[in-house]
Amino acid sequence: MTVLDVEGVANVRDVGGIPAAGGRIRAGVLLRSGQLSGATPAGASALSERVSHIVDLRDGEEIAAEPTEIVGPATTHLPLFLGSVRSFFEADTSLDDLYLHLLEESGERLVEAIRIIATGETTLVHCTVGKDRTGVTVALALAAVDADREAIIADYALTESQLPRERTQRIAAYLRAQHPEAVHAVALATQSPARVMRALLEKVDERWGSAAGYLRTNGMTHAELDSLRAALVEPATQG
């Protein structure tokens, strides 16, 4: 994957180059990031030139607080959390439980997001930080086309190092003050441990057979999965 410098936007990268069965993930097809509301004019222009479709996974409360307007690309809002983000901190939800909740409660919207990726247009998937909702969506899309599992996990784990340090410190201090008894709050907001994504992908295999099996269970057709593979996987050259 390639980390991209887009002014005013954190955690931007192109997952192209990850090894996959029969080839590798195409560059310039699937991008991921944190929220886009802070994009400078130069950053917004760079996104407009590079991206055809933006998939915003935030809920209405988040969008109202940090609205985004990037001129040019189509934007689809697919809020993945059923309930507010705040509720997960109040319940002291772990990352493992949060991701399982996404799989169990937001399957149709995850499929809808991945259908957009399957069109082959340059698609940018983002949420607020680009860690959890974005991480699960991108991991499922990559796993469904047999991308290398350790590379998928490494892409997820990279996020923690891409978040602005000042933001991480500020959020951690706020959460410790607001939820002094919480065990999982800081990890929920700031961390992306490899073990969490590894466990999630193992859970997907255990319950649905594979990432492709999970997507089929939630409405994706074999033809759409073929389109996803054609969009994402660049075949290895012969000879």
- Please give the domain boundaries of the chain with CATH numbers for all domains: 2-230 (3.90.190.10)
Burial 14-24 (b: 16+ CB within 10 A, else e): bbbebebeebb
Q: How much is the pLDDT for 215?
A: 98
Range with lowest mean pLDDT among 17-26, 34-43, 59-68 = 59-68
- The token duo for 146 is 């047999």
Rg over CA atoms, the chain: 17
Q: How much is the pLDDT for 164?
A: 73
> DSSP for 41-83?
HHHHHHHHHH-SEEEE---HHHHHHS----SSSEEEE----SS
Q: Which residues pair with 53 in a beta bridge?
A: 74, 123
Strands 23-25 and 30-33: unpaired
The helix/strand/coil state of 108 is helix
In the predicted model, what is the mean pLDDT of the chain? 91
- The token duo for 44 is 């917004």
Range with lowest mean pLDDT among 55-59, 60-64, 152-156 = 60-64
Q: pTM here?
A: 0.93
Average pLDDT value for residue range 22-37: 96
Would you place residue 83 in the very low, low, confident or very high pLDDT band (cuts 50, 70, 90)?
low
120 or 176, greater pLDDT: 120
Average pLDDT value for residue range 34-54: 96
Q: How much is the pLDDT for 237?
A: 79
Instruction: Spell out the alpha helix ranges (H) of 120-178.
Output: 133-144, 149-162, 165-178
> DSSP for 17-40?
T-EETTEEEPTTSEEEES-STT--
- What is the per-residue pLDDT across 182-225, written as a single tens digit (0 to 9) for each? 667 777 778 899 999 999 999 999 999 999 999 999 999 999 99
Task: Give the whole-angstrom CA distance, residue 229 versus residue 209.
Answer: 18
125 Cβ partners below 8 Å, 6+ apart? Answer: 30, 31, 32, 33, 55, 57, 113, 117, 134, 137, 138
Q: Is the dihedral of CA 132, 197, 21, 211 positive or negative?
A: negative
The yes-or-no verdict on residue 128 having pLDDT over 80 is: yes
